[in-house]
Structure formats: C-alpha cells, structure tokens
Amino acid sequence: MEWARTLRIDAAPSDALEQRLRRSFAHEGIKLSLRGSQAPSRTYALVEGPPGLDPAEIDWSTCGARAFDEPVIALAIEPAPSDALPFLQSALSGEGAPAGVLGCEIAGERIVVEFAPSVTPAPLVMRLIDVELARFAGNRKVELLSPLSLETYTQIAAQGLSCEEIVPQRVLEALIGGAHVG
C-alpha cells in the first residue's frame, strides 16, 4: 500500500456501519480494516490505498468520520485506581504533553488516547502512563481500539525490542502475500 489514514467514527461497531464504510471507500485497491469498542462507543477504520489513488481525491466527510492524516493508534486505558484518570488526561494532553497526542478524553472509567506513532512512539506513551500511575501505586488495563498497519506493528516491535531489523519487508505473512497481521 502507498498510503494509510485512520478514521474515527463516534458509534459502536456494527454490520450496518461496516457496510456504510465499505460503500464509502469502494475505490479500486483500497483496503479497509475496522476495530472498535462498545464502551466507549467508537469505531476506528484503517484505510490503506494504492499508489495510483491520491488520498486528497477522497471525500473523507461522506462517512461522517473524523479523518486523521496518517495512521493513528487509539488506546482505551482503564487505570486502577480510577482517581488517576484526570492526572493521566493532564499528562497526555496538558501542558508538556507529547507532541503526537491528537486526542485524549475520559470516557467513563477509561481514558481514550489517540496518537500518531510517527511523532510520539508507543513506548513513550505507555511509559508516561506508567509514571503517572506509579504515583497512585496503580496499574492499568489497555485495549487497542484502532486497527494498525503492518508498518505500525513492525515499528512498535522494533522499538519495544530495540531491534531495527524488524521491518515490514521481513514479516513472513507479508512476504507470502496477503495474509493480514494483527
């Protein structure tokens, strides 16, 4: 794929929503992956396009989604204790927050953070969360809300394992053609 974008739809995943999105992006060569959550009521789509299709030619507003200019990681973090929620929100979106954080909001007992891994690495976001939770002797549950591209998976693995040899061109599933990773 030549390019990728993440979309956020403020609705729970459903067959009707998936069909609507697939109709909206029925261009030749577009790959669409969906992932979402009932709480918060949110669906994310990863739209990947071929070299011949310019993403600027697509009307992203037709599906009622917020379109990010690149692939984004969205996480729902449930801290224990929940008293840490406002402090996590401040650390992730307040003054001095990482530049790649594009959105951060409290949703019930969880905090949803959206960030661009091209700007702020996933391990940095997770470390920041853990530093804040340490003040409360707390812990966390994390749910990945957004589908990730092969490039993003390999970037996270390479960073987490300190192994720059992990690249999309060396992932077996990609080499044998068409197998979806994640």
pLDDT digits (tens, 9 = 90+) for 66-97: 999 999 999 999 999 999 999 999 999 999 99
Domain-ending residue, one of 27, 52, 69: 69
Residue type, 83: D
pLDDT digits 0-9 by tens, 118-157: 999 999 999 999 999 999 999 999 999 999 988 888 888 8
pLDDT at position 128 is 96
pLDDT digits 0-9 by tens, 153-174: 888 888 888 888 888 888 877 7
Range of the domain at 154: 149-182
Residue 93: which region, alpha, beta or left (left: phi > 0; alpha: psi -120 to 50)?
Answer: alpha
Question: Domain check: are 56 and 93 in the same one?
Answer: no
Domain-ending residue, one of 50, 69, 88: 69
Secondary structure (H, E, C), 158-181: HHHHCCCCCCHHHCHHHHCCCCCC
Question: Domain check: are 58 and 4 in the same one?
Answer: yes
| 132, two tokens | 């804040």
CATH number at residue 91: 3.30.70.100
Asked if omega into 40 is within 30° of 0 (cis), the reply is yes
What is the tally of structural domains in the chain?
3
- pTM of full prediction above 0.85: yes
Question: Domain check: are 134 and 174 in the same one?
Answer: no
